[in-house]
Structure 1
Amino acid sequence: MKQILIALVLIGVLSSCNTSTKNKDEESAMEETVVDSTALKAETNFVPIDSDEALVAASLMAAPAESRDGCKVIGYNMAGEFVTFKEGDNEFIVLVDDPKTNGFNAACYHKSLEPFMARGRELRAEGKSGPEIFDIREEEAKSGKLDMGKPGATLHLYYGPSDSYDPETFNVEDAQYRYVVYLPFATAESTGLPETPIGSNHPWIMNPGTHRAHIMITPSGMVH
């Protein structure tokens, strides 16, 4: 009996040692992961976007990787002038981030949406408010005066709170993606989508029944 008791005690001690060692190993691994993540962020060379070249390079991240070389690129330059930075030969137009605004917000959209986008810029330049622009384009789209592009045409947004980027990768600090699929005058009934998101990365339809009806998609991860 005495030998059995001694054996049980030894098993208990060994088990306790193994559990303690395992817990310490797991804690050590977690600490190393945190340190590595912090060190990686500290090593990333984020710098202000302070030139037209940097503005274009960062804004092109809004486009699919395989299409960036062929995109037309337009928008406000560092001097505040609306210009064409480069012509393109594919289906995308990139609208660069406005350097005069806080944060970063670049867009890439299908070229068939250009009349709709250009009309918005024109009305905004005239001093029209957001609701006024919406009403004017709604009326013009219903009358056929405004071309709304191909149904299903997409808009890709690359945006974030920072206006700094990594000159080696062109990634903007803490930026993320959102995708929009335009379906003029579509509704929840015609698409089967909810009018409000049911999850952080679930698609839903915004402005249903109007010229600006579109499917909103916000991925949970970041892919460049």
Structure 2
Amino acid sequence: MRNLWSALFIIVVITSCNTNEKTKTESESKITEVTNDTVTDTTKKNYVSIDNDEALVATALMAAPKSSRANCKVIGYNMAGEFVTFREGTNEFIVLTDNPKKSGFNAACYHKSLEPFMARGRELKAEGKTGVEIFDIREEEVKSGKLSMGEPGATLHIYYGTSNRYDPETSLVEDAIYRYVVYLPFATSETTGLPEAPVASNHPWIMNPGTHRAHIMISPVNNLDKK
């Protein structure tokens, strides 16, 4: 009887060891699969520097809605540091390329009715005015009627990030994200019902309330394909 119990004990131990070894092997296999998938996803991305005018235009157009990119007007600084019109457009959008002389990436797309406001800001900045001075000057000019803020509800789309590399196949910039604002001059929390700070991730809120630059801010989202 003692020999029988000993034999049964040995069988149980061996079976347990085999089961544990099988589980360990399956787990290691799954880890390997996940690791391989991660490596594969990484190697699919072919990021290179944005180092020519064609790349500047291609990446800047990612700031525009996908259906409108083909017909946007594109302006901005070229690789030589000159502010130029890269191409004329036929729709309601103007795209502003990233400034290659600055670190990181920042491209924008805005409704054409905002061009006087945007152009005035670039002009004042070129004169050496600070951000506060530009704000105050445009505030006074909008209130006096000298400067137009465009159509109420005009939008500004921004595509930005810390990297200046992109994938030539997709024109997506490395780790760049997207946000947009809706301009409502002199709007407030009371007139819109929006909070003056986001209450949750990606929740709309109103920035610069009560001023010429009041706008609905949409916090950054990461999936550009959902635009």
Partner of 2:122: 121
1:174-193 deviation per Cα after TM superposition (whole angstroms, max 9, x unaligned) = 01101111000010111111
Partner of 1:127, secondary structure, is: coil
| Range 212-221 or range 71-80, more displaced | 212-221
After TM superposition, list the pairs within 5 Å mapping 1:130-209 onto structure 2.
Answer: 130-209=131-210
Q: Alpha-carbon deviation of 1:222?
A: 1.1
Q: Percent identity over the alignment?
A: 70
2: CA distance, partners of 1:85 / 1:105:
17
The answer on whether the counterparts of 2:186 and 2:211 sit within 8 Å (CA) in structure 1 is yes
Q: Would you say 1:58 and 2:54 are equivalent positions?
A: no
Q: Which runs of 5+ in 2 are unaligned?
A: 1-7
How has the CA–CA distance of structure 1 residues 24 and 201 changed in structure 2, closer, same or farther, with 3 Å as cutoff?
Answer: farther
Partner of 1:43: 44
Partner of 1:50, secondary structure, is: coil
How has the CA–CA distance of structure 1 residues 26 and 198 changed in structure 2, closer, same or farther, with 3 Å as cutoff?
Answer: farther
Q: Alpha-carbon deviation of 1:113?
A: 0.4
Q: Taking structure 2 as the reference length, what is the TM-score of the superposition?
A: 0.86
Partner of 2:102, secondary structure, is: coil
2: CA distance, partners of 1:101 / 1:133:
20
Q: Alpha-carbon deviation of 1:36?
A: 1.3
How has the CA–CA distance of structure 1 residues 123 and 32 changed in structure 2, closer, same or farther, with 3 Å as cutoff?
Answer: same
Q: Taking structure 1 as the reference length, what is the TM-score of the superposition?
A: 0.87
The answer on whether the counterparts of 2:59 and 2:171 sit within 8 Å (CA) in structure 1 is yes
Rg larger in 1 or in 2?
Answer: 2
Q: Alpha-carbon deviation of 1:135?
A: 0.1
Partner of 1:116, secondary structure, is: helix
How has the CA–CA distance of structure 1 residues 43 and 199 changed in structure 2, closer, same or farther, with 3 Å as cutoff?
Answer: same
| Range 144-153 or range 41-50, more displaced | 41-50
1: CA distance, partners of 2:207 / 2:36:
41
Q: Alpha-carbon deviation of 1:37?
A: 2.6
How has the CA–CA distance of structure 1 residues 198 and 83 changed in structure 2, closer, same or farther, with 3 Å as cutoff?
Answer: same
| Range 189-198 or range 88-97, more displaced | 189-198
Q: Would you say 1:210 and 2:211 are equivalent positions?
A: yes
Partner of 1:200, secondary structure, is: coil
1: CA distance, partners of 2:32 / 2:194:
43
2: CA distance, partners of 1:131 / 1:27:
58
Partner of 1:93: 94
Partner of 1:39, secondary structure, is: helix
Partner of 1:218, secondary structure, is: strand
After TM superposition, list the pairs within 5 Å mapping 1:18-29 onto structure 2.
Answer: 21=23, 28-29=29-30
Q: Alpha-carbon deviation of 1:40?
A: 1.4
